[in-house]
Structure 1
Amino acid sequence: MVQPPRRIASLFRCLAVAVLACGAVASVQAAPAKPARLGLCAACHGETGMAQIPGAPHLAGQKLDYLREALKQYRDGRRNVPLMRAAIGPISDADLDELARWYSAQTPSAPTQGNP
């Protein structure tokens, strides 16, 4: 087997490090900002999406499209859950999207007893 010249091997190592560093920076930049309307949601579902009360579902790591559509359905009354409809209220599409992005980006942790 022919060994590549040291210069080329060094160049490949530098390139690999640069690619990995760019990926890490991109993932940090992609993290959503904490939504302004998170407070009421966090009372039941937790700030990081791990439910705080029995019976409330964990939202951490759920698919973005699922969360977005579920929130729209609660807001519009297509999901008839009075507590959720009252909690969401007349939320804008932009606020709704922020909440869905936030919870979908959270990493689930070990669930506490009594929560799904």
Structure 2
Amino acid sequence: MRTFLVVALGLTCALQALAADMPPKPVRLGLCAACHGETGMAQIPGAPNLAGQKLDYLRKALKDYRDGSRDVPLMRAAIGPVSDADLDQLARWYSAQTPPPQAAGQP
């Protein structure tokens, strides 16, 4: 019985630590999720998966779309006048998501 309690306590602590690492869901996630999925897995053909991308890459890419450095009208319209804080929340959210494992035999 003691072993069971020790294991249960350990799992509880581990799950709480994992949950603490997950950033809060961004308020502006809705429009992004329409194409990229709430967990960063694309919902439409041609939209890239964002789950697990590097935080700095996502942060820069979002700023570049917003500021027009990356000339993709759809992304610029979707992002609109978003603050740096909102962009940071989105980047943190998607970088913290776990992409599904690659199927065996896929490049």
Instruction: Please indicate, yes or no, whether the TM-score normalized by the shorter chain is above 0.5.
Output: yes
In structure 1, how many angstroms separate the alpha carbons of the residues matched to 2:12 and 2:101?
30
In structure 2, how many angstroms separate the alpha carbons of the residues matched to 1:82 and 1:66?
19
SS in 2 for 1:71: helix
Query: What is the TM-score with the length of structure 1 in the denominator?
Result: 0.73
In structure 1, how many angstroms separate the alpha carbons of the residues matched to 2:22 and 2:43?
23
2:92 pairs, out of 83, 95, 101, with 101
1:45 aligns with 2:39: no
In structure 2, how many angstroms separate the alpha carbons of the residues matched to 1:25 and 1:108?
21
Q: What RMSD over aligned residues (CA atoms) do the two structures have, in Å? A: 2.0
What stretches of structure 1 of length at least 5 have no aligned partner? Answer: 1-13, 112-116
Considering only CA atoms, is the larger Rg found in Structure 1 or Structure 2?
Answer: 1
Report the CA distance between 1:81 and its aligned residue: 0.2
Percent of pairs identical after alignment?
75
Report the CA distance between 1:109 and its aligned residue: 1.8
User: Residue deviations 1:45-94, cap 9 Å, x none?
Assistant: 00000000000000000000000000000000000000000000000011
SS in 2 for 1:54: coil
Q: Which residue of 1 aligns with 2:69?
A: 78
In structure 1, how many angstroms separate the alpha carbons of the residues matched to 2:45 and 2:60?
23
